[in-house]
Amino acid sequence: TGEGGMITTNNEEIAEKARSIRNHGREKTKWGYEHNRLGYNYRMTDIAAAIGLEQLKKLPKFNEKRRKNAEYYNENLDGIDGIEIPYVLENVKHVYHQYTIKCDNRELIIHKLREKEIGYGIYYPKPLHFYGHLKRFATNDLKSSEKLSEKVVSIPVHSALTVEELERVVEVFTI
């Protein structure tokens, strides 16, 4: 549904607060309603909801294709010097909305991806504790996250990738 999202909870208080925030802070009262908190217009249109419901039917297939794409990367990128593939615990079923690798030389990898006109993303260009509204939460030394933010890059993993496209991505790391 575009940039939409979903909240799930089994807590009625949280559910009511979420419904209020998505509807201009509106809350039901015995006289109708009042706006008791800051809220926004996050109400979904019927058309967006219909599209979302249809997309949800495809989600298991999309997730499985991304898992297969990630498996291809895991098999072909694991063990390459200077590259660290994602680690996933055995009892976890990852959906790979991103496939983020750690690179010793990220700039070189990005250069090669650009040369081959392969999309990539640096979705976490700096650690969260560098952002103004979150700085107050950085109570410890967070050097590991600072170093990691300089080394990660995400490569395409979406469900529409072909085998040939996956091979082109892997070539960046093997040639």
Separation between Cα atoms, residue 52 and residue 4, nearest integer Å: 9
The two tokens of residue 21 are 């925030």
Residues 34 and 64 placed together within one structural domain of the fold: no
Residues 105 and 164 placed together within one structural domain of the fold: yes
> What are the beta bridge partners of residue 83?
103
Residues 21 and 97 placed together within one structural domain of the fold: no
Mean pLDDT by 10 residues, the chain (175 residues): 75 93 86 84 85 92 98 97 96 95 96 97 88 82 91 97 98 91
In the prediction, which pLDDT does 32 show?
A: 83
Does any domain span residue 77? yes
Residues 21 and 99 placed together within one structural domain of the fold: no
- Residue 107: which domain range? 59-174
35: enclosing H helix or E strand: strand 32-35
Does any domain span residue 39? yes
In the prediction, which pLDDT does 111 show?
A: 97
Does any domain span residue 136? yes
Residues 20 and 103 placed together within one structural domain of the fold: no
Domain total of the chain: 2
Residues 38 and 64 placed together within one structural domain of the fold: no
Residues 105 and 145 placed together within one structural domain of the fold: yes
CATH number of the domain that residue 108 is part of: 3.90.1150.10
pTM, two decimals, is: 0.77
